Structure 1
């Protein structure tokens, strides 16, 4: 799989991929735990930012910010040479990593995941004091969907057919599973999509209902415990759902 797919995690988290890119990335996601964890982090960040509300911040916020500023040592400006070049990366440094001559040290390569974490923290801080100090919202806890996707033992299976794609992620440790679908048409008011857990004895247990948005996409966390399930299915049922499937599954994915 092309290494370029790793760079699509941010666009995937904010639903900015086209159908071909989404299908390719979801297939890659099935075998890449790093990308699954990164998607979960970025999705949680996007959800948190949408939860910002305009309100009066707590009285302690200003004092806390000012106290924090006093404890942060700003980096000195980059001292370029007469030709505009940056200082050598192997320049001598004093204890603590600062240049011995008081200038700036050479470039430091920060791993991508650390850059991501710091970027998200900066976004959170900026959002918390936006609009002249009138916006205040702490980070919300990860959604149930994000918890499943980010689980340490998460496994994923993807099914694609005629422009429709579904990805099921499940965690035996959590006992939960989640589904992300695209390319499903909207249903009339008297019909709904229903999720099912299938067992080894070919019995099906209802695991919740969902509807797609105008673009044919949806995400949902299945009801019930995934640990005894061997498959996840999707059927079209009457509004309100059915006790047992009344039609053949339009999707059926085996959990291995």
Structure 2
């Protein structure tokens, strides 16, 4: 498991299995995004474009699958309703996966 938080106490927690290529990602303290925006989870890998892992529904944990061991981090961005094909803004939070067995 890995956890990260910012100076305002908002954070992200990940419980992941590199052998199964799955992760459960939980956001806390962010509330609802403004307007018709959504929070989107991305898999970050070296030398590859970010890959969407899905959209958060408030503080409900998001189950991500299909993660390969080359994954280096997960990032969360705020995107237009319905999500985006690629991130349109910088991450509001990013968490390295090295401590949970990824990044090989």
42, 61, 71: which one aligns with 1:196: 42
Structure 1 residues 153-181: Cα deviation after superposition (integer angstroms, max 9, x where no partner): xxx21111112021112111111111112
| Corresponding position of 1:219 | 61
Query: Following the alignment from structure 2 to structure 1, what is the Cα–Cα distance between the partners of residues 43 and 33?
Result: 22
Q: Work out which of the two has the higher radius of gyration on C-alpha atoms and give 1 or 2.
A: 1
Which residue of 2 is the match for residue 157 of structure 1? 2
Would the aligned equivalents of 2:21 and 2:65 in 1 still touch at CA under 8 Å?
Answer: no
Structure 2: 5+ residue stretches without partners: 99-104
By how many angstroms is 1:190 displaced? Answer: 1.7
Please give the per-residue CA displacement for 1:99-137, whole angstroms capped at 9, x wherever unaligned. xxxxxxxxxxxxxxxxxxxxxxxxxxxxxxxxxxxxxxx
Q: 2:77 aligns with which of 203, 225, 235?
A: 235
* Corresponding residue to 2:14 among 154, 168, 171: 168
Deviations 1:56-105 (A, max 9, x none): xxxxxxxxxxxxxxxxxxxxxxxxxxxxxxxxxxxxxxxxxxxxxxxxxx
CA distance in 2, matches of 1:202, 1:167: 24
Deviation, structure 1 residue 225: 2.1
3-state DSSP class of the match of 2:69? helix
The structure that is strand-richer by fraction is 2
2:101 corresponds in structure 1 to none
For residue 252 of structure 1, report the CA deviation from its aligned partner.
0.6
**Which structure has more helix as a fraction of its residues?**
1
Displacement of 1:188: 4.1
Structure 1 length as normaliser, TM-score? 0.36
SS of 2:61's partner is strand
Q: Is the 8 A contact 1:182 1:218 kept in 2?
A: no
Cα RMSD, aligned residues only: 1.5
Aligned partners of 2:42 and 2:74 also within 8 Å? yes
> Which portions of structure 1, spanning 4 or more consecutive aligned residues, are displaced by more than 4 angstroms?
none
Gaps of 5+ in 1: 1-155
The aligned length equals 97
Q: CA deviation at 1:233?
A: 0.3
Q: Could you tell me how far apart the structure 2 residues matched to 1:166 and 1:225 are?
A: 17
The CA deviation at 1:200 is 1.6
The DSSP-based 3-state class of the residue aligned with 1:228 is coil
With a CA cutoff of 8 Å and minimum separation of 6, indicate the structure with the bigger relative contact order.
2
